[in-house]
């Protein structure tokens, strides 16, 4: 199978964005270490690195490449510039959300700030717990062992930062030792003081590490995932629109075949789209004028291939055969049916097989395809 053009375009863009994001997160950590508030730190770094603008540029590059691949067109330099301008100004999804709004999602900045603030609050509670081990002196040597145990508990519990049960166990240990210490009256010794200070220092240092981990998770891993989801979905949508537009413009093309992506980790609606013969044109083949929604779900990078006259008989929306879908699902093993329908959905299907479209997860009625992409712009034949 040829290399998936959607994955290829997204992979290139994601790597470029990840490198930029990594530098930005490093700068964010430095700002937080200087005591800058999370809100100011995040907004400063986002603005300094122009992350929203750069993400938009990368997604537009992906859209250009996947549109070109879907239509089988090598764009001219002028056409590439004109197409990006057209897409940025006019592209929208079925919900009516403009491209710029999808990419420049300021709520993601808020999510990062909230994650860091939550981490700081957890860190504050750990410092407070450690400070409860106030120095009251020592008269019994075995108390030092208790403090060392508290230290070990703090280290273990901190590994599971944010785990309420781990923190509760740590707090109980602190309280137990505190009760013993409260009965001590000799203020002259510093042995316990040093042990307490170890606990305090470890917790304080760990709190800084916790904030750093939270910042890296929220601002790098989560942000990168969100960005890649937009890149992949936007790229797949552009690829699909261009492919159907080109197919509709070609009198020799009678249908479009849905082909699963090479990496397809879970059984889902795409397996049905690629394997059921719902129009009598062959497995996974649909009239070019009427076909499933593509992409079928976020991260869907299934491919589309044109089916030419002579390879299948032309069909229309009226040729849809629900019995073919029912029969295909019945042939699948029970575990596959559960993946496709859900546990309850499978039970409903077994009782009422003809209702399969109501049970299939992610099913959308097939849509009428229309030309949506001015392919002439890519070739430099039309202006934007």
Q: What is the pLDDT of residues 297-322, one digit of tens each?
A: 988 999 999 999 999 999 999 999 99
* C-alpha of 336 from chain center: 25
Please state, in angstroms and as integers, the Cα–Cα distance from residue 147 to each residue in 133, 181, 184, following that order.
Answer: 9, 10, 14
Is residue 273 within 8 Å of 292, Cβ to Cβ?
Answer: yes
Query: What is the mean predicted confidence (pLDDT) over 78-91?
Result: 88
From 34, 56, 58, select the one nearest 44 (Cα to Cα): 34
pLDDT at 140 over 80: no
The pLDDT-based confidence of 265 (bands split at 50, 70, 90) is confident
Confidence of residue 135 (pLDDT cuts 50, 70, 90): very low
Beta carbons of 245 and 373 less than 8 angstroms apart: yes
The whole-model pTM stands at 0.79
**What pLDDT sits at residue 122?**
72
Sign of CA dihedral 310, 301, 233, 45: negative
Q: What is the mean pLDDT of residues 221-227?
A: 90
pLDDT value for 151: 64
Asked if residue 86 has pLDDT above 50, the reply is yes
Mean pLDDT of the chain: 85
Average pLDDT estimate for 259-284: 94
Please check the confidence at residue 182 and state whether its pLDDT lies above 90. Answer: no
Pairing of strands 303-308, 285-287: unpaired
Q: Residue 167 pLDDT more than 70?
A: no
In which band, very low, low, confident or very high, does the pLDDT at 206 lie, cut at 50, 70 and 90?
low
What is the arithmetic mean of pLDDT over 252-262?
96
- Alpha carbons 112 and 219: distance in angstroms, whole number: 6
In this predicted structure, the answer to whether residue 176 has a pLDDT above a threshold of 60 is yes
345-352 mean pLDDT: 96
| Beta strand residue intervals within the chain, DSSP E | 253-259, 285-287, 290-291, 303-308, 367-368
Q: What is the rounded CA–CA span in Å between residue 89 and residue 109?
A: 24
User: 3-class DSSP state for residue 126?
Assistant: helix
């Amino acid at each position: 199978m040829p290399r998936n053009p959607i994955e290829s375009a997204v992979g290139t863009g994601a790597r470029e964005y990840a490198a930029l994001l990594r530098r930005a997160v490093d700068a964010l950590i430095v700002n937080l270490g200087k005591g800058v508030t999370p809100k100011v730190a995040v907004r400063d770094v986002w603005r300094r690195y122009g992350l929203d603008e750069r993400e938009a540029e990368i997604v537009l590059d992906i859209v250009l490449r996947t549109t070109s691949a879907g239509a089988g067109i090598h764009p001219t330099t002028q056409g590439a510039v004109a197409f990006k301008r057209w897409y940025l100004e006019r592209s929208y999804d079925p919900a009516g959300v403009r491209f710029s709004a999808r990419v420049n999602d300021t709520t993601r900045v808020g999510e990062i700030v909230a994650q860091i603030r939550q981490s700081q609050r957890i860190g504050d509670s750990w410092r407070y717990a450690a400070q409860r081990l106030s120095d009251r002196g020592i008269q019994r040597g075995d108390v030092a062992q208790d403090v060392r145990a508290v230290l070990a508990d703090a280290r273990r519990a901190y590994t599971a930062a944010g785990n309420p049960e781990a923190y509760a166990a740590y707090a109980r240990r602190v309280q137990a030792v505190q009760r013993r210490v409260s009965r001590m009256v000799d203020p002259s010794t510093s042995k316990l003081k040093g042990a307490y200070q170890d606990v305090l220092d470890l917790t304080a240092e760990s709190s800084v590490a916790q904030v750093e981990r939270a910042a890296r998770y929220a601002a790098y891993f989560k942000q990168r995932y969100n960005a890649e989801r937009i890149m992949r979905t936007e790229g797949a949508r552009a690829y699909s629109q261009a492919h159907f537009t080109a197919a509709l413009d070609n009198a020799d093309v009678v249908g479009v075949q849905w082909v699963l992506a090479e990496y397809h980790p879970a059984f889902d609606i795409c397996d049905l789209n690629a394997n059921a013969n719902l129009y009598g044109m062959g497995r996974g083949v649909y009239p070019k004028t009427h076909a499933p929604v593509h992409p079928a779900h976020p991260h869907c990078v299934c491919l589309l291939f044109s089916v030419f006259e002579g390879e299948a008989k032309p069909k229309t929306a009226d040729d849809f055969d629900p019995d073919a879908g029912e029969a295909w699902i019945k042939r699948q093993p029970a575990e596959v049916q559960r993946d496709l329908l859900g546990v309850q959905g499978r039970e409903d299907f077994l009782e009422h097989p003809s209702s399969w479209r109501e049970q299939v997860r992610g099913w959308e009625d097939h849509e009428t395809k229309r030309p949506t992409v001015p392919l002439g712009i890519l070739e430099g034949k039309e202006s934007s």
